[in-house]
Amino acid sequence: MADGLTPLVALLWLLNVLTDSGGQLAFKAAAALPGDAAGLDRWRAMARRPWLWIGIACYGAEFLLWLAFLSLVPLSTGVLLGSINIVAIMVAGRLLFNEQLTPLRVLGILLVSAGVAVVGLQP
Amino acid sequence: MNRSSARRFYLVGFAVLMAFDTLAQLSFKMAGTQALPLSLSLQWLQRVFSQPWIYGALVGYAGAFFTWMHLLRRAPIGPAFAASHLEIVSVMLVSHWLFGEAIGLAQVAGAGLIVAGIVCLALSEPEAPTEAQPA
């Protein structure tokens, strides 16, 4: 992707990672509702707080950013570079929700990151 | 659910999930290409939503979402998480076949590393009950 990795492509990729992680974390925050409301009441309670809407806005933005990104890079390269979202979510979950980073998870994160780097840095 | 019908449930389920994911990514690429040149403008958005491929992306996303939710009623989250990302491989094959994209050594090595990493992440998930309560 010698002619593909322009600053614009890099920016779109970065914004996609941010909106994907932001959206998933917002949905997680929305789902972690205090109280034990169920069914429709639960949805009403979630809709009154900002998290659900922040998540939906992030996903809307991500949809367009991903479309723009893929229009500029080969599809096979694009989906591989998009795999970094898996790592971003895992790290964000550790930072914000105190999820455990076991040795196997760290190895997984390193392998995925290495794979993305190999694809992204190819001449 | 006996063992062979469980196997069929997973095989069919993950094949359908992969098909929807692949359809979504192919549609994104087609829609993006048809809407070129890229610009931060209303004209670009109009080009995006005025051709059929964008709806292929929406159908693919929606189909993948419901298939995933259905699978998660029975499949343990760890292996399911791994299998749900294997579409990177099918998309690579399909983009070579349909768009003639060159799949070089870097792509193959990168995909191998990513898949190995996903398998590690999947194995690190705590074992979920194999027979979840019906929703």
Whole-angstrom distance, CA of residue A78 vs CA of residue A45: 38
Distance CA B112, CA A31 (A): 34
Q: Which residue has the tokens 């398998």?
A: B119
Phi, psi of B131 (to 5 degrees): -115, 95
To the nearest whole Å, the CA of A49 is away from the closest chain B CA by 24
Looking at the complex, report in whole angstroms how far the Cα of residue B113 sits from the nearest Cα belonging to chain A.
Answer: 5
pLDDT, one tens digit for every residue, chain B (135 residues) = 677 888 888 889 889 999 999 999 999 999 999 999 988 889 999 999 999 999 999 999 999 999 988 888 888 887 788 888 888 999 999 999 999 999 999 999 999 999 999 999 888 876 544 444 444
pLDDT value of residue B79: 78
Q: Kindly report the nearest CA distance between residue B4 and chain A, in angstroms.
A: 31
A99 vs A78, higher pLDDT: A78
d(CA B77, CA B27) in angstroms, rounded, equals 27
Contacts of A102 in chain B (CB under 8 A): 124
ipTM over 0.95: no
CA distance B28 to B48: 10
Name the residue ranges covered by the structural domains of chain B.
3-124
Convert B3-12 to b/e letters by CB count within 10 Å (16 or more is b): eeeeeebeee
Q: Which of B116, B117, B57, B58 is nearest to B91 (CA)?
A: B57
Interface test mutation site (partner A, options B58, B77, B121, B125, max chain A beta carbons within 10 A): B121
pLDDT of residue B32: 93
Task: Please give the pLDDT value at position B135.
Answer: 40
Is A113–B99 a contact, with Cβ atoms under 8 angstroms apart? no
Per-residue confidence (pLDDT) for residue A16, from 0 to 100: 95
Indicate yes or no: CB of B48 within 8 angstroms of CB of A64. Answer: yes
